[in-house]
Amino acid sequence: MSEKLFNKISIIGFGFIGSSIARLIKAKSLANEIICGDINPEICEKAINLELADKAYTNISQAVRDCDLVILSIPAGAIKTIAEIISPHLKKNAIITDTSPVKQAIIKDISKFIPSDVNFVPAHPIIDKVFLTSNTDLGVFDNSWCIITPLMHTELKAIEKVSLLWDKFGSKIEIMSPEHHDKIFAITSHLPHLIAYSMVKTIAGLEDDIRAEIAKYSALDFQNITKAASSNTIIWRDIFLNNKEELLDILQEFTQSLTSLQTAIKNSDIDMLEKIKKSTNPKL
């Protein structure tokens, strides 16, 4: 057996991220064996047929057995249930990691089920290229950030192994606290998605003929602002609900900004936008 980064890796959830990870592990020979765990039998079959996994199980407990690394790549809302299911079947000294865009809630959900000899290394790969690349592109994580938010008792060795894995995938690694992570990504990602869904909800409430014309004349700015609402609704519902506090905080700030602009328009305040420009970092 040649010296690989891991002997046996289990990937639970074979969606876009899970299958991209499998493809990179195969292509870069980072493990001796890849196990797919997915409750959907069609996805398990596909993972085998595309040779992205050596074995595939709909029984998730089965899928983690004897694995050195378990990667949870499932919606945030499913993490708690899956953690409870796999917990008794984890290999001694195994490492668990995840790919969720929310961290505090995930850590809370997982922590109570993790055996003391298992290390959990929470991770969040930031993918900007979902719309630009196909799922078979090996460059999907190239030059993107992977944020790692270790727990107080996570062993350094485990953090290093997970970091090295993401480094091999092409990501740049950054370590930060789960609290800080959730605050930053509430702003850069979760709020923009919530705005996009709100915009789509607004359009949905208009009359049919107006909606047809909006589709006809929708310019780039409109498309840009609504694009995020075409994302998977289950994944995003779970993100919103699992980063509730930080998201509601920044949403309140945003609503205040919107209200102050609304008032400025009502009062014909001709300096309103100049004021924003002056107070803003030019990079934003």
Q: Which of residues 65-84 bind its own copies (CB under 8 A)?
A: 77
CA atoms in the 13 A half-sphere facing the CB of 278: 5
Q: Which is nearer to its own copies, 17 or 53 (CB)?
A: 17
Asked if 194 interacts with its own copies (CB under 8 A), we say yes
Stretch that binds its own copies, among 25-33, 44-52, 151-159, 260-268 (CB under 8 A): 260-268
Enumerate residues 6+ apart whose C-beta is below 8 A from 118.
90, 92, 93, 94, 95, 96
Q: Which is nearer to its own copies, 6 or 236 (CB)?
A: 236
Tokens representing residue 24 in the block: 């990179």
Stretch that binds its own copies, among 17-25, 91-99, 155-163, 223-231 (CB under 8 A): 223-231
Stretch that binds its own copies, among 17-25, 39-47, 59-67, 237-245 (CB under 8 A): 237-245
Asked if 213 interacts with its own copies (CB under 8 A), we say yes
Degrees to nearest 5, angle at CA 43 with 98 and 74? 20
Neighbours of 171 (CB within 10 A): 22
Asked if 196 interacts with its own copies (CB under 8 A), we say yes
Stretch that binds its own copies, among 8-16, 57-65, 162-170, 271-279 (CB under 8 A): 271-279
Asked if 7 interacts with its own copies (CB under 8 A), we say no
Residues between 98 and 127 with contacts to its own copies, criterion CB under 8 A: 126
| CB 142 to its own copies: min, Å | 14
Q: Which is nearer to its own copies, 37 or 125 (CB)?
A: 125
Classify residue 51 by burial, with Cβ atoms within 10 Å: 0-12, 13-18, 19+: exposed
C-alpha to C-alpha distance for 22 and 275, rounded to whole angstroms: 49
Residues between 39 and 68 with contacts to its own copies, criterion CB under 8 A: none
Helices (H), ranges, 112-243: 156-169, 178-185, 191-204, 208-217, 220-226, 233-242
Please report, for residues 16, 23, 125, 142, 222, the alpha-carbon distance to residue 20 in angstroms, rounded to integers and kept in the order given.
6, 5, 12, 12, 30
Asked if 16 interacts with its own copies (CB under 8 A), we say no
Enumerate residues 6+ apart whose C-beta is below 8 A from 258.
none
The DSSP result for 80-91, as a single string, is: HHHHHHHGGGPP
Stretch that binds its own copies, among 16-24, 41-49, 80-88, 201-209 (CB under 8 A): 201-209
| CB 168 to its own copies: min, Å | 21
CA atoms in the 13 A half-sphere facing the CB of 28: 18
Residues between 128 and 187 with contacts to its own copies, criterion CB under 8 A: 128, 131, 145, 147, 183-185, 187
Q: By CB under 8 A, how many residues form the interface with its own copies? A: 79
